[in-house]
Amino acid sequence: MKFVDEVRIKVKAGDGGRGCVSFRREKYVPRGGPDGGNGGDGGDVAIAADPQLATLLDLRYQKQYKAGRGEHGRGKDQHGKKGAVKHIAVPVGTVIRDAASGEVLADLKNPGERVVVAAGGKGGRGNASFASSTHRSPRRAQPGLPGEERELDIELRLLADVGIIGLPNAGKSTLIAAISAARPKIAEYPFTTLVPNLGVVTVGEGKSFVVADIPGLIEGAHRGEGLGHKFLRHVSRTNLLIHLIDVSGIREAEPLANWHTLNRELRLFDPALAEKPQIVVANKIDLPEGRAGASVVKNALGPLAVSFCAVSAVTGEGLADLKRLMAKKLDESRGAAEENSLASGI
Along the 346 residues of the chain, how does pLDDT read in single tens digits?
466 778 999 999 999 999 999 998 888 877 788 999 999 999 999 999 998 888 888 898 899 999 999 999 999 999 999 999 999 999 998 999 999 999 999 999 899 999 999 999 999 999 999 999 888 889 999 999 999 999 999 998 877 888 888 887 778 888 888 888 766 555 454 444 556 777 888 887 767 888 888 776 655 544 554 555 566 777 788 889 999 888 887 776 677 888 888 888 888 888 888 888 899 999 989 888 888 888 988 888 888 878 999 999 889 999 999 999 998 888 887 776 565 555 555 4
Three-state SS for 333?
helix
Kind of pairing, strands 240-246 and 278-283?
parallel
Give the pLDDT confidence score for residue 187 in this predicted structure: 46
Give the pLDDT confidence score for residue 230 in this predicted structure: 63
Give the pLDDT confidence score for residue 344 in this predicted structure: 56
Instruction: Report the candidate in 66, 53, 44, 54 with the shortest Cα–Cα distance to residue 212.
Output: 54
Distance CA 323, CA 82 (A): 54
Give the pLDDT confidence score for residue 9 in this predicted structure: 96
Instruction: Report the candidate in 265, 258, 336 with the shortest Cα–Cα distance to residue 297.
Output: 258
* Cβ–Cβ under 8 Å, residues 88 and 46: yes
* Cβ–Cβ under 8 Å, residues 147 and 127: no
- Give the count of alpha carbons within 13 A of 255, CB side only: 17
Q: Which residue type is seen at 59?
A: L
Quickly list H helices, 152-282: 172-179, 228-231, 257-269, 271-274
Give the pLDDT confidence score for residue 220 in this predicted structure: 52
What Cα–Cα distance (Å) separates residue 163 from each residue in 148, 160, 326? 38, 7, 11
Give the pLDDT confidence score for residue 231 in this predicted structure: 67
Q: What values do phi and psi take at 337, rounded to 5? A: -65, -40
Q: Structural domains in the chain?
A: 6-156 (2.70.210.12), 162-345 (3.40.50.300)
First to last CA, the chain: 46
Give the pLDDT confidence score for residue 228 in this predicted structure: 52
Distance CA 111, CA 96 (A): 15
